[in-house]
Amino acid sequence: MRIERQKNEFKGNSKGYILDYSNSFLLLQEVDDFRVLGFLIIPIETISGVRFNKDDKYQDKIMFWEKQKEKIGITYKIDLTNWNTVFQSIKATGHNVIIEGEALNDGYFTIGPIKRVAKNAVSIQYVSTGGFLEMPLDKIDYTDITIVQFNDRYIDIFSKYLRVKK
């Protein structure tokens, strides 16, 4: 399934399987090149289209034949009521996140552990490309977020080797 996303001038898409949804959010397990990846939280307001055409159906069959569909699913609950409950749920799992604000002028990307969850913003301890936990915390307004990723191979492996500056 392909989820087309748009906010302001930004346009993008995500491919995967819908695991859950609410009036505000969609929980998608991402798939790329017939590999099951991590999870995405997509604000419903940014979804501009959903596609599941004959090509997507054929790729779904390939996923079955390759026994990849067996890997689809989540073993814990993510509360999709609002951003606050989403981030509290992810934080409780211990997973680090990637948060993107793709619709901002320069775009926004941060990766790291969730440190604070507030009414209108979340604070992340950014991880530099060298694997260092940085300070001060990155505070991201919920209105700027276009996608959140977690429990993904890239995030999990990178997070395994975090370093603290001395």
Domain ranges for the chain:
2-164
CB 17 within 8 A of CB 62: no
Q: What residues pair up with 132 in beta bridges, in sequence order?
A: 163
pLDDT tens string, the chain, 166 residues long: the values are 899 998 888 888 999 999 999 999 999 999 999 999 999 999 999 999 999 999 999 999 999 999 999 999 999 999 999 999 999 999 999 999 999 988 777 778 999 999 999 999 999 999 998 999 988 999 999 999 999 999 999 999 988 998 877 7
Write down the pTM of the prediction. 0.92
* Residues whose CB is less than 8 angstroms from the CB of residue 128 and which lie 6 or more positions away in sequence, other chains included: 134
Give pairs for 152-157: CB < 8 Å, separation 24+: 152/30, 152/37, 152/38, 152/39, 152/98, 153/37, 153/38, 154/38, 155/38, 155/95, 155/96, 155/97, 155/98, 155/111, 156/38, 156/95, 156/96
